[in-house]
């Protein structure tokens, strides 16, 4: 049995085929099997909350208050972060925030400036 691609929208592994479409039961996203090559390229790139592609050195803004683990500090909405670095893993942005220090963030909580 051929291995099905992960969902392009939420990266879920529980996709299934429906005629000539792939369907994700978790988020409801559907995409054509003909777009599989395009979706593989989209999976490789890291995107912000608005769907903009992020690259090393970009400037981003936080869109949600984020609690800092092990501290009473909070990264407030609107905090601007310069010169990000993209990394593999659950938290895909490595950065330095003024007043807090080095942090790893998830791309779903930021937007590109």
Comparing 39 with 50, which gets the higher pLDDT?
A: 50
Q: What is the pLDDT of residue 29?
A: 86
Q: Tell me the helices (H) and strands (E) count for the chain, helix number first.
A: 1, 11
Look at residues 5, 12, 10 and name the one whose alpha carbon lies nearest to residue 33: 5
Q: What is the mean pLDDT of residues 28-40?
A: 71
Q: What is the pLDDT of residue 19?
A: 87
Please give the Cα distance from 110 to 19 (Å, whole number).
Answer: 36
pLDDT tens sequence across 3-33: 888 888 888 899 999 988 899 998 888 888 8
Q: What is the pLDDT of residue 36?
A: 57
pLDDT interval class at 38 (50, 70, 90): low
Q: 1-8: which pairs have CB atoms within 8 A and are 24 or more residues apart?
A: 5/36, 5/39, 5/40, 5/43, 6/43, 8/39, 8/42, 8/43
For residues 112 and 54, the answer to whether their CB atoms sit within 8 Å is yes
């Amino acid at each position: 049995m051929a291995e099905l691609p992960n969902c392009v929208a939420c990266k879920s592994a529980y996709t299934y085929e429906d005629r000539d479409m792939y369907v994700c039961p978790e988020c409801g996203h559907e995409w054509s099997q003909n777009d599989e090559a395009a979706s593989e390229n989209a999976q490789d790139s890291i995107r912000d909350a608005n769907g903009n592609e992020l690259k090393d050195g970009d400037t981003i803004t936080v869109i949600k208050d984020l609690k800092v683990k092990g501290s009473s500090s909070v990264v407030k909405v609107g905090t601007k972060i310069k010169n990000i670095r993209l990394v593999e893993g659950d938290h895909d942005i490595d950065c330095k925030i003024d007043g807090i220090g080095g942090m790893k963030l998830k791309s779903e909580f930021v937007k590109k400036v």
